[in-house]
Structure 1
């Protein structure tokens, strides 16, 4: 959800106040580009967003798998509102000033997902109670999950030029949404449980990437977790 850099301004590696100083090109840059490139001292919010996403996804995935006989996911509401929702929303808003459009889009999108999903589960919202036919409610939730499967599929395409860890995580997440949607449409518990398994795998990948982001943000970090960087192709001359 967010890519780390080795020369972040907040690490003290670059002490620049202008685009020209950052790139070392004097005043030859176009005015439009000078306005677009602004060094940021905002710390990397990637670990916050990924840990929040992973924790909430892990919790709901265990409920979907009916771990320890749990059949009602309502305990996830608090996590979905404040951890998966608010924390990711804030992480996404901090990603945009850093120039990370992918990270900002992903964090804010899934923060909105968790907030909207929590709203469905809150009795006071009246959303679930407005459906008198349980089948109709399942179909509505299924369509809701299909919409997020589509969003995640688009993000999978965007990860193809990032790294292997992101590709695996978003692919697992897309499968999670798809399986949960099919489980709602077909009313088959086995399919929903399969979605819970892939959701747990997604959360483990998010934890791994989040830890990698956190360690790479520390100057004195001893351990660095590889993400499987995909080398960029150089256009032939």
Structure 2
């Protein structure tokens, strides 16, 4: 028995993984014990004061570096991360195909307005605020901001809100979509969404490689979309055929970028679901949470050296 335990400790490099929940330090139990049967492990999961998981698994499940929180909420509630991701993916994936014009699709993605409200808006807001309750700040901010983006995009396309109708000079609301004022103005919204994603990209360097790919491609996509809208405004205002052709190419390129974003998102969604159900195989997401040390970790290391 001692030999098995020594071998287990050597395999794990004598590393004590951080706890998923820090509320009851006396009740912690490490579920990576090789001498624990499946039935006993399941019973301990139901009754233990805390469950020990590796920082890599925590980051995969919650898309955020492991942090200490008070209370037992992570054991009480399910993981909201895949719900928010699902809302994002079922809004962005079809929109990507629309932007690229596959099978004659187009119309700025107006056909998906329902999914923008109820998948992108509702599910991402719900998931985001549940992340807030669990104490996961980064996913909370990311999910709610993108939930607001989808609601904004849907409202802009909805005639009721008169976003483009106010630009029409013909009395036909839809004609406002093809005006210089609307296309040039909406381009600025896309620019600053790109700025937001750039901030998220930098922050994601402490999460995983898939998240980095998602935000990198979103930065590119929002920049390309802003360029497409501005070139389209130039085409409308000056009847510049070259600008119109460039706008079309920029839109297709933006759709290609968001398609890559979607594929990366589906990958991480699959990874989270496999981890949540404790499948016998897992897929990697390129954990970065231990690569870049946090400020608190560095400070603690300095204090230990003194």
TM-score, with normalisation over the residues of structure 2?
Answer: 0.65
> 208-217 vs 131-140, which deviates more?
131-140
Aligned to 1:157: 202
More RCO (CA 8 Å, sep 6+): 1
Query: Is the CA contact 1:169–1:205 (under 8 Å) kept in the aligned structure 2?
Result: yes
Instruction: Select 2:105's aligned residue among 45, 63, 70.
Output: 70
Aligned to 1:137: 182
SS at match of 1:226: coil
Aligned to 2:37: none
- CA drift of 1:95 comes to 0.7
- CA drift of 1:114 comes to 0.1
Query: Is the CA contact 1:58–1:200 (under 8 Å) kept in the aligned structure 2?
Result: yes
Q: Give yes or no for the alignment of 1:210 onto 2:210.
A: no
Query: Is the CA contact 2:124–2:147 (under 8 Å) kept in the aligned structure 1?
Result: yes
Q: In the TM superposition, what whole-angstrom CA distance separates every residue of 1:147-180 from its partner, at most 9, and x where no partner exists?
A: 2111111111110111111111111111111111
- CA drift of 1:39 comes to 2.4
Query: Is the CA contact 2:69–2:135 (under 8 Å) kept in the aligned structure 1?
Result: no
Aligned to 1:224: 282
What root-mean-square deviation, in Å, do the aligned CA atoms of Structure 1 and Structure 2 show?
2.5
Query: Is the CA contact 1:172–1:199 (under 8 Å) kept in the aligned structure 2?
Result: yes
* Runs (5+) with no aligned partner, structure 2: 1-16, 22-41, 53-67, 169-175, 233-246
SS at match of 2:89: helix
* Runs (5+) with no aligned partner, structure 1: 23-34
Q: How many residue pairs were aligned?
A: 216
Q: Which has the larger radius of gyration?
A: 2
Aligned counterparts of 2:217 and 2:191: Cα–Cα separation in 1:
15
Cα gap change, 1:212 to 1:119, in 2 (>3 Å): same
Aligned to 1:80: 116
Equivalences for 1:86-101 in 2 at 5 Å? 86-101=122-137
SS at match of 1:212: helix
Q: In the TM superposition, what whole-angstrom CA distance separates every residue of 1:48-89 from its partner, at most 9, and x where no partner exists?
A: 111221121111111111111122121110000000110110
Q: Give yes or no for the alignment of 1:175 onto 2:208.
A: no
TM-score, with normalisation over the residues of structure 1?
Answer: 0.83
Aligned counterparts of 1:186 and 1:6: Cα–Cα separation in 2:
51
> Higher helix share goes to which structure?
2
Equivalences for 1:41-56 in 2 at 5 Å? 41-56=76-91
- CA drift of 1:14 comes to 7.2
Aligned counterparts of 2:69 and 2:274: Cα–Cα separation in 1:
29
Cα gap change, 1:99 to 1:80, in 2 (>3 Å): same
Instruction: Select 2:153's aligned residue among 117, 121, 134.
Output: 117
Query: Is the CA contact 1:165–1:228 (under 8 Å) kept in the aligned structure 2?
Result: yes
Instruction: Select 2:138's aligned residue among 102, 123, 137.
Output: 102
